[in-house]
Each structure stands twice: as C-alpha cells, then as structure tokens.
Amino acid sequence: MTEPVPTRPADDPDSSPRRIPSVERLVGAAPPADLEAYGRTAYTDAIRAVLAAIRAGGGPVPDAAAIRAEASARLAAAHRPSLRPVFNLTGTVLHTNLGRALLPRSAAEAVAAVMVQASNLEFDLATGARGERDDHVEALICRLTGAEAAVVVNNNAAAVLLVLNALAMRKEVVVSRGELVEIGGSFRVPDVMVRAGCRLREVGTTNRTHLRDYAEALGPRTGLVMKVHPSNYAIAGFTAAADPVALHALCRERGVPLADDLGSGSLVDLAAYGLPPEPTVRAALERADIVTFSGDKLLGAVQCGIVAGRKDLIARVRKNPLKRALRVDKMTYAALDAVLRLYLHPERLRAELPTLRLLTRARDAIAAQAERLAPAVAERLAGRATVAVADCISQIGSGALPVETLPSAALVLTPGGRGGGRCRRLAEDLRQLPVPVIGRISDEAVRLDVRTLEDEAGFLDTLAALPPAGNGLRTP
Ligand SMILES: *Cc1c(COP(=O)(O)O)cnc(C)c1O
C-alpha cells in the first residue's frame, strides 16, 4: 500500500475531504447580517480562507455552520479597529503606552463638533480675514500661566526642538550636566540639540552645578540657556543646582534667553490637592523667559506641546519654518480649549478633569470600591482565579514626580491550578477581552489597580467574556 494510513476509517464521512462544502453553498446560506456588515466579496474571501485552512490542516472537516462561524470570527477580528479603548488598571495614571491623559466628555464633544463641520480654524470671524490658529487658545494659556504669548505644536518634544532651532540655531545652548537626561521614548536632550542645529555646551557635573559654571560658559556664542526637568530621574545626596532666581538674573544681565523644559508642567498647585508638588507653569515663568510643557501629562488634555513666555521670543518661535511642520490639527485646539476652560472654574476642576480626579482619589475610597467589586469579579473569574483586595501603589506616570507614589488598592487575581505561566496566560486572556483589561503581574497574581476604574459596568461586562481555564477559545 502506498496510501498513507488514514487517522479515521476512510468511510467515516466526517474525515473525508469530499465532505468539504462548496464555497457557493456556504456563501449562499451566509447569515444576512454578515453579508450586510462585510459585503459579499469579503465574506466569500473569508470562507475561502477557512476552507484553505481546513484542507491544509488535514483534520476532520467541521460542519457548514462551524465553517461559517469561523469565517464570521475572522471577519470580526479583521474589522476590529487596531486602536481601541482598554481598561488601564496598571496603576500608572498617565501611562504613555496607554494614551496618557483622558479627556473629559465636554472636550471630546468639542472635538467631534469641529470634525464633522467646517470651522473658523484660521479665519477671523470679526473681519472675514485670515486668522491664526493659535488664537483659539493663546489668550487662555496666557491667562492661566502669566505668559505674554504662546504657541501650540505636536508634542513637548516638538516644542523643545522648535525653541532650540528658533532661538539658538548655530549657537551654543548651555545646559547643566545633571539635566542631560533621556526621557523615555528616545527623547534625549543632547540628541535633540544636534537635530535642532545647536551646539551643546555642558556645564557643571552630574550632581552639582553652580551659578559660576553658567557665568563662565556664557559668551558671544551663547544662544540660549536651557533648564530641563529631570522627569523620570532623580538626583539625590550631595547635589547642588544654581539658584533659579540668580540664574535668571545672570541670563538677563548677559542678554541671553533662559528656557525651561518643564515636561509635565502643571497649571495648578498640586500640593493644594494633597499631591506631591510639581512646578507650575506660572511659577516657572517667574524665573525663565520661555517654557515648554506637554498637553497630555498633568495638564490633562490632548497630545500637544505648549511654548509660552516672552512675546518677542514667542514671535521668533512662531515665525520659524519648523512651526508649520510641527503644527497641530483643529481637533487638538478644540480639545485643548475645552480643557483649559475647566481651569477657569477651580472649584469644579477636580470633579471635571479626569487626570486630577483620578490622581486625587483617596485610598479608602479606592479600597471600598475594590471590596464592593470583588464578589462580582470573582463570579466572572470563577474557575479561573480567586479574587482578593490588597493595598498597592499607583504612580502618576509620564515622568512626573518619579519617586512619589500614591497609596491605592488593587483587585488581586490569583490563577488556580498548577504549573508555570498561569499568570501570564490570565494576563493574556484579559488583554484579548472585547475591551482589553491591562493590569500588572507581581507575586504570582495579576493585579488590577482600581484607582483608574470608573466604568464599572463596562468592566464587569468585558470580564464576562473571559474563557474558562485551559480553554484555547478566544472571544472574537
Ligand atoms: C515628557 C517630556 C518631554 C516630551 O514630551 P512629549 O509631550 O512626550 O513629547 C520633554 N521633556 C521633558 C522634561 C518631559 O518630561
């Protein structure tokens, strides 16, 4: 016999290749909803792909209903947007990989309004003449920070690049060695300087830089003195930095502008909300001529970078050709404007600005929420994991206040059964849910910090789709 030995008797109809139904028959009985959603062409292609996989697999042939279900699942997966909402329960409130700040609904609605209709983006409604897009937010930024003028660009990295290029191209930029940092996502201060066409003039040492170090470095080749917030990096111990007021006075005396890259840059005093202090933009502008900060870190709006400060310097920044390349879309202005407006009503800010609301949640309230949710979560994870509540520590994230942490509470999911990799598999299944749930693995458990859990109903809904242990099934 040259025939391979069949795994089942040849007369078993289930394993016979002759039993694979025709494409025409399968498409002819397609669920109308699938044809409506995906169209006949895509549906037919999906059926062909499933049949090809069955032939290639060589196993038993599923029945027609199972083949169509597999085609539906493939189509649903292919049509799911790549970028979609998740539950960030990592404990890092401003998580760069998970989209940083969450917009208040009012801001999202403002974005939608200018997206589906024409807008006065660069049009002066009073005169009918051409307008300037930064006009939509500049006055508000100035009012909230004390700046004389401001421009908005794509992100804070762009803001730094633009300031360097506009104020110090082919000149020296004086920076303390303790501030030559890398801020994650490959933003390195020395590299940005080179790209901006500036020459870096390092002063001081890693741990100590004095006013006289700056004084000695300033000269005819100097274009700018730059301070950089060390963000996710802290220097402790035997350290010294030049007194900011004295440094500003020195720069003014020598006629050199002083820029301060704040990174996060808060518009309000976080200490007043019981949070660790972070320099406010207003305070920074009292000892610098120009500042740069992110729109989607502590400010709590969208991705953008804001340059604010002295009018003459901002005018040079605005005139720089790079501004055109780094400018932002109308969506950004709409969202930024809506968020900045919330700051005009400080009494309501904490309730209305998601970033501040989440950061200021009290540990006891978070723990009570976790305790209240635990039974419903346990029910959805029955057979998969046990659920307990434990203290944990949240982080602000995005480089703000790296050594400061916030007491919080987590749902601790401990997978049942034996064998390694159970936590990893549970975390993986949580990531495959209709709305993925992202936590942290530590001490043989998946931990979900509920500080950032506001949509409880949506969370319980998505958990209900979790497959039982050992089941390879994935929800589409
Ligand atoms: C985060 C940060 C940046 C980069 O800001 P993006 O908005 O992420 O581009 C630059 N400088 C400092 C000090 C930062 O903390």
Question: Residue 334: what residue type?
Answer: A
Q: How far apart are CA 72 and CA 66, in angstroms?
A: 10
Calculate the CA dihedral of residues 346, 88, 108, 76 and round it to 10 degrees: -170
Nearest CA residue ID for atom 12, ligand 1:
263
Q: How far apart are CA 404 and CA 420, in angstroms?
A: 33
Is 228 touching ligand 1 by the criterion CB < 6 Å? yes
Write down the H helix ranges in 401-455.
422-431
Q: Which is the closest atom of ligand 1 to the Cα of 158? A: 9
Is 157 touching ligand 1 by the criterion CB < 6 Å? yes
Nearest CA residue ID for atom 3, ligand 1:
263
Cβ proximity of 451 and 102 under 8 Å: no
Cβ proximity of 105 and 113 under 8 Å: no
Nearest CA residue ID for atom 2, ligand 1:
263
Nearest CA residue ID for atom 15, ligand 1:
263
Q: Give the Å distance between the CA of 281 and the centre of ligand 1.
A: 14
Q: Give the Å distance between the CA of 229 and the centre of ligand 1.
A: 9
Is 399 touching ligand 1 by the criterion CB < 6 Å? yes
pLDDT at 40: 95
Q: How far apart are CA 144 and CA 453, in angstroms?
A: 30
CA 278 to chain centre: 20
pLDDT tens series, the chain, 476 aa: 444 444 444 444 444 555 789 999 999 999 999 999 999 999 999 999 999 999 998 888 999 999 999 999 999 999 999 999 999 999 999 999 999 999 999 999 999 999 999 999 999 999 999 999 999 999 999 999 999 999 999 999 999 999 999 999 999 999 999 998 887 667 888 899 999 999 999 999 988 999 999 999 999 999 999 999 877 677 788 888 889 999 999 999 999 999 999 998 899 999 999 898 888 999 999 999 999 999 999 999 999 999 999 999 999 999 999 999 999 999 999 999 999 999 999 999 999 999 999 999 999 999 999 999 999 999 999 989 999 999 999 999 887 655 667 999 999 999 987 777 899 999 999 999 999 999 999 999 999 999 999 999 999 999 999 988 755 444 33
Probe target for ligand 1 pocket from 187, 226, 228, 328, with the most ligand atoms within 8 Å of CB: 187
What pTM was computed for the model? 0.90
Question: Residue 402: what residue type?
Answer: P
Q: Give the Å distance between the CA of 416 and the centre of ligand 1.
A: 42
- Across the beta sheet with 222-228, the strand order is 149-153, 305-309, 290-294, 258-263, 222-228, 172-176, 199-203
pLDDT at 134: 97
Probe target for ligand 1 pocket from 92, 281, 294, with the most ligand atoms within 8 Å of CB: 294
Q: What is the DSSP letter of 280?
A: B
pLDDT at 3: 45
* Among candidate residues 389, 332, 341, the one with its CA nearest the CA of residue 366: 389
pLDDT at 231: 74
Q: Give the Å distance between the CA of 193 and the centre of ligand 1.
A: 14
Q: Which is the closest atom of ligand 1 to the Cα of 181? A: 13
Nearest CA residue ID for atom 11, ligand 1:
263
Element holding 211 (H helix, E strand) = helix 211-217
Backbone angles phi, psi at 396, to 5 degrees: -70, -50
Probe target for ligand 1 pocket from 97, 188, 231, 293, with the most ligand atoms within 8 Å of CB: 231
Is 183 touching ligand 1 by the criterion CB < 6 Å? yes
Half-sphere exposure of 457 (CA within 13 A, CB side): 0
Which two tokens mark 352?
């209305």
b/e per residue 338-368 (b: at least 16 CB within 10 A): bbbbbbeeeeebeebbbbbbbbebebeebbe
Is 410 touching ligand 1 by the criterion CB < 6 Å? no
Q: Give the Å distance between the CA of 374 and the centre of ligand 1.
A: 37
Residues in a beta bridge with 292: 261, 307
Q: Give the Å distance between the CA of 181 and the centre of ligand 1.
A: 11
Cβ proximity of 107 and 301 under 8 Å: yes
Q: Give the Å distance between the CA of 133 and the centre of ligand 1.
A: 23
Q: Give the Å distance between the CA of 292 and the centre of ligand 1.
A: 9
Burial class (CB within 10 angstroms; exposed 0-12, middle 13-18, buried 19+) of 335: buried
Burial class (CB within 10 angstroms; exposed 0-12, middle 13-18, buried 19+) of 185: exposed
Q: Which is the closest atom of ligand 1 to the Cα of 185? A: 8
* Among candidate residues 469, 364, 461, 374, the one with its CA nearest the CA of residue 412: 374
- Across the beta sheet with 445-449, the strand order is 92-94, 385-397, 406-415, 445-449, 440-442
Probe target for ligand 1 pocket from 152, 161, 183, with the most ligand atoms within 8 Å of CB: 183
Q: Give the Å distance between the CA of 148 and the centre of ligand 1.
A: 22
Q: Which is the closest atom of ligand 1 to the Cα of 231? A: 15
Q: How far apart are CA 12 and CA 172, in angstroms?
A: 82
CA 179 to chain centre: 24
Nearest CA residue ID for atom 7, ligand 1:
156
Q: How far apart are CA 163 and CA 225, in angstroms?
A: 11
